[in-house]
Structure 1
């Protein structure tokens, strides 16, 4: 009896498929023409801060039976980048007979920049402290926003038990396939060198190659162990940044006054 019921269900589903195919053929025979999408440009240039309506600029759609279908055009998903900041986007429109037509054109993001890493605190730790430098690394992207969850730790030579200079190598990709890697410096220092806190406005910045860079612009404030603010003019600054050449550089900020010693680092990524 159970097999009879299964057979009945199979026959019912098959009959629905046959009926649906017949209806599609019938509708097609009633309306043999398909809609047409046209674009007045081969490549659409937009900002990464685009509105949905921006994606439809320069498009029109016509159908022999239904007339103007421009307001029925729908944008699909972006392809992976075919070159930095450039991808394909496919559009579709349906006529009243549910016949579809598609068009694909290039889209260029005129202000696109590759994903960037950020730091929630400097990668400077006291010897022996339980820490994980990777946990302070975040990432943002103009297309996807916060992509911190996509960060991969590729390599680390950090020994939190021994004072020294180390690195972690991280990588992140956005949804369009653009990947950024960085080798970020990590400093393990004696606790006595961190008795004064030097706060910066940022701990990892990106600078365009060839532009000016002033390390003092990133000082926020300095405070002692009791939370009393100190004169930031007492800081000594050592910068190795060369904005003429792309790369990852560091700026070291230090103080060694009566209230104690302190140091921190700013990581500077110079991009072309």
Structure 2
């Protein structure tokens, strides 16, 4: 029995020795250094139509054991905007020991503009017709593209059963946190006043403050109730747009003749 105990002790001590040797070998094989990402350009300036390679401009990654890891840098996520058109962007790189290095730098979109609303059709409806102005309101963004599904209704004064001038207040936010709001005019009219259709190129026009504006350029074509094209020269235009002042304005287009009456409105947003 005594010899058995001695043998057990010897085997136990041997196992401890083997374990210790394995630990020593493991530590000897560990990578004592981590990779480093360096930024040689400071704040990155790019277009909103950037390629992913543009996001890596001026970056280098180095590891004492693995050497140059620049081509293994991975682009992370943009932060919410710090200010309009400026945000942070994160990066990460791993060495062969799976140790990570990270870096965050500021990115400025040089041509950035806030999201814009658009209309699939002017917000002009025949009274008592079942309709919903929100079905015609769209939104687009340079970063996210079509964000129409994110448009929110904040307030509305519309009574679809009574002819009159109304407003709808809407909001949209892109993925980087830029929120814009607009109060859009809505017109409910007698059906007889829109028997002739005046088609516009677009329902909302965005104009920079101080730019020239020519309302006649937004007429596409006119057609009567039977679908026949009419001469656009029959359209009279009344514009209240003041490009010297930021704000929301309207242009009223109207036609009247043997083929019937027609009217519509263009919403113009002058950006300050």
Whole-angstrom distance in 1 between the partners of 2:240 and 2:114: 24
Runs of 4+ in 1 over 4 A off after TM superposition: 26-29
Whole-angstrom distance in 2 between the partners of 1:127 and 1:80: 43
Query: Cα deviations across residues 83-134 of structure 1 (Å, max 9, x unaligned)?
Result: 0000000111111111101111000000111001110001001110000001
Whole-angstrom distance in 2 between the partners of 1:42 and 1:149: 36
* Equivalent residues of 1:141, 1:147 under 8 A apart: yes
Match of 1:160 in 2: 160
What is the root-mean-square deviation in Å for CA atoms of aligned residues? 1.3
Query: Cα deviations across residues 203-230 of structure 1 (Å, max 9, x unaligned)?
Result: 1111111100000001011111111111
Query: Cα deviations across residues 137-171 of structure 1 (Å, max 9, x unaligned)?
Result: 01000111110110100000100111100000000
* Secondary structure of 1:155's aligned partner: strand
Larger Rg: 2
* Secondary structure of 1:243's aligned partner: coil
* Secondary structure of 1:193's aligned partner: helix
* Secondary structure of 1:171's aligned partner: strand
Deviation at 1:27, TM superposition (A): 6.9
Gaps of 5+ in 2: 1-22
5 Å-filtered alignment, 1:60-75, equals 60-75=60-75
Query: Is 1:241 aligned to residue 241 of structure 2?
Result: yes
Match of 1:58 in 2: 58
Query: Cα deviations across residues 19-40 of structure 1 (Å, max 9, x unaligned)?
Result: xxxx9xx579711111111111
Match of 1:12 in 2: none
* Secondary structure of 1:134's aligned partner: helix
Match of 1:126 in 2: 126
* Equivalent residues of 1:28, 1:97 under 8 A apart: no
5 Å-filtered alignment, 1:185-224, equals 185-224=185-224
Whole-angstrom distance in 1 between the partners of 2:155 and 2:62: 55
Match of 2:264 in 1: 264
Q: TM-score, normalised by structure 2?
A: 0.89
Aligned residue pairs total: 248
Whole-angstrom distance in 2 between the partners of 1:32 and 1:240: 71
* Secondary structure of 2:45's aligned partner: strand
